[in-house]
Amino acid sequence: MAKEYRQHSFQRPPGATEILLVRHGESRAATADNPFPLVDGHGDPELHPNGREQAQRVGDRLRHEPIGAIYVTNLRRTSETAAPLAEHLGIEPIVEPNLREVFLGEWEGGLLRMKAAEQDPVFQRMHAEQRWDVIPGAESWETINNRVMSGLNRIKDNHPDELVVAVVHGGIVAHVVAHATGSRPFAFNGADNGSITHIVMMEQQIMVRRFNDASHLVDTLHDGSGQLT
């Protein structure tokens, strides 16, 4: 009888680290008379009530996974999103500030949302050129890439052969997937709040296994759920 060669399901390569990038839940609305407070220059809104529901659903979705660590950024919407899962697992989240959201310069504090709603010419140019630093004072692709890869590599080095969760931001999810796939810089902008993107960190490669898995969130999503920040 001839030897059979079956198809096999994915197996994590030895020494690699699987990371579930969870976008934080929906943050509170921005208004001109109540801008977001700033932390190290970054807008730092709390979760909207809908975002708190999304955080609970993330916790319920992932509570039975063999998760070795939970990472958050220094912005509160990530720690608030991680809290239900951390409680289920009895894990204290670790802060990795290099995975914080893209710095928007003069458009921090919620102003990006307002400029987007107005279809401001600078906003339109930003999308046309696929560059955040069209906004005055915002980060360049190179600056974002250097710090984000530093943060991801630190997680990889600390957790070989493990599955971990990193609760991060829409701009960061988009950057990582575009970087890993060689796509246009903004090709993956707009991951849903509370969605899960699955990557595998290896020595010389990032493998993307899943992008924007939001099956646990369907009735919490609405127009604008994929907006950044």
Please tell us whether the domain made up of 17-103+139-214 is placed in CATH 3.20.20.70: no
Q: How confident is the model at residue 188 (pLDDT cuts 50, 70, 90)?
A: very high
- Give me the long-range contacts of 32-35 (CB less than 8 A, separation at least 24): 32/114, 35/109, 35/110, 35/111
Mean pLDDT of 80-109: 98
Mean of per-residue pLDDT scores for the chain: 95
Chain segment 112-154, per-residue pLDDT in tens: 999 999 999 999 999 999 999 999 999 999 999 999 999 999 9
Q: How confident is the model at residue 223 (pLDDT cuts 50, 70, 90)?
A: confident
Mean pLDDT of 151-160: 98
∠196-197-199 over CA atoms, to 5°? Answer: 140
Q: How confident is the model at residue 218 (pLDDT cuts 50, 70, 90)?
A: confident
Closest of 191, 227, 228, 229 to residue 210, by C-alpha: 191
Whether the CB-CB separation of 214 and 194 falls below 8 Å is answered with yes
pTM of the predicted structure, to 2 decimals: 0.95
Coil, strand or helix: which one is 82? helix
Whether the CB-CB separation of 155 and 96 falls below 8 Å is answered with yes
Q: Report the C-alpha gap between 151 and 18 in whole angstroms.
A: 14
Mean pLDDT of 155-176: 98
Coil, strand or helix: which one is 125? helix
pLDDT (0 to 100) of residue 228: 61
pLDDT exceeds 70 at position 229:
no
C-alpha distances out from residue 119 to 102, 182, 187, Å? 20, 28, 19
- Give me the long-range contacts of 116-122 (CB less than 8 A, separation at least 24): 116/227
pLDDT exceeds 70 at position 74:
yes
What phi and psi, each to the nearest 5 degrees, are found at residue 69?
Answer: -165, 155
Percent pLDDT > 90 in the chain is: 93
pLDDT exceeds 80 at position 168:
yes
- Alpha helices (H) in 92-217, listed in sequence order: 111-118, 121-129, 141-158, 170-181
pLDDT (0 to 100) of residue 163: 98
The two beta strands, 67-72 and 42-43, are unpaired
pLDDT exceeds 80 at position 190:
yes
Instruction: Show the tokens assigned to 122.
Output: 């600078």
Mean pLDDT of 172-196: 97
